[in-house]
Structure 1
Amino acid sequence: MPTSTNPKEWKSRFIFVSAAMIPESPPLRNAEATIEDSVPILSADEIVQWKHMYENPTRAFTFSEGILAMGG
C-alpha cells in the first residue's frame, strides 16, 4: 500500500494480488464493440424515492481534516 498521499508518488509502490483472490476471470471483450447497458426498470417504491431526491436536492459539504478529527 502506498504510504505517501502525494499524487505524483502513487505508482511508486504496488501490492501483490494473487489469482486466488479473484473468484473468476473476467470475460473477454471486443474493444471495438459497443457496450449494451440498458437503464433498469424502477419499481413503484423506487420511483417515489427518485422523485423525492430529484425534488429535494442537497448541497454537498466538504470539511477539513481537522473538523473531521474533532467530530471523531
Structure 2
Amino acid sequence: MFSCYSMIMFNIAKTKPEVRKIAEKYRLPLVLLFGSQVSGRTHPQSDVDIAFLSEKRMSLIEIAKMQIVFSQK
C-alpha cells in the first residue's frame, strides 16, 4: 500500500533516526520525502511531505495513528 500526507516543517537531519525507528515499527520498507523540503524551496509555512510503502494493507485508522506519531517527531 502506498500513501502520503503532509506535516509541519522539521529538521530533516535531526529527524532521520526517529523516522527510521517509526518505519521499523510500522514495517515500512520505503519512506520518501518530497516537495519543498527536497527542492529547497521552503518558506515559513512549508510542511513536510512524506510518502511510504507498507508491507501490509493499512486501515485509515492505522494511517492516522502513524501520522500522529510522525508529526510528534
Fold match by TM threshold 0.5: no
| Greater relative contact order (CA < 8 Å, ≥ 6 in sequence) | 2
Structure 2 length-normalised TM: 0.25
Higher normalized helix content (fraction of residues): 2
Q: Name which one, 1 or 2, has greater alpha-carbon Rg.
A: 1
Larger strand proportion of the pair = 2
